[in-house]
Amino acid sequence: KALALIALAFILFGWIMDRYGMIPALIVMFLVGSRAGHEFKLIEVVILTVLMSTFAVALFVYGLGLPYQLIQGWN
C-alpha cells in the first residue's frame, strides 16, 4: 500500500503540475504521500506542506530561475 501511494503521489504531481501549476501539485503530492506512513496527523502534514512548498518555490522558481508556473494562469 505504501509503495503504491508514493508512486501515485509522483504521478499526480506530474499530471497536476502540467495542468494547474506547481503549488497545487506540491499540495496534492504531500497529502497523498503522507498517507503512505503509519501515522497521519493532519496538522503536521499541513505544516510540512506549507514549509516544503515554500522551500521548493523559493529554490526552483526564485533561486534557480526555472520557469514553472506557480498556479495556472498566474505569472
37 confidence band (pLDDT: 50, 70, 90): confident
Distance CA 67, CA 48 (A): 24
Q: Cell numbers 503512505 correspond to what residue? A: 36
CB 22 within 8 A of CB 69: yes
Considering the entire predicted model, what is its pTM? 0.85
Does residue 73 surpass a pLDDT of 80?
no
Give me the mean pLDDT over the 39-50 stretch: 91
Per residue in 48-68, pLDDT (tens digit) is 999 999 999 999 999 999 988
Distance CA 6, CA 74 (A): 28
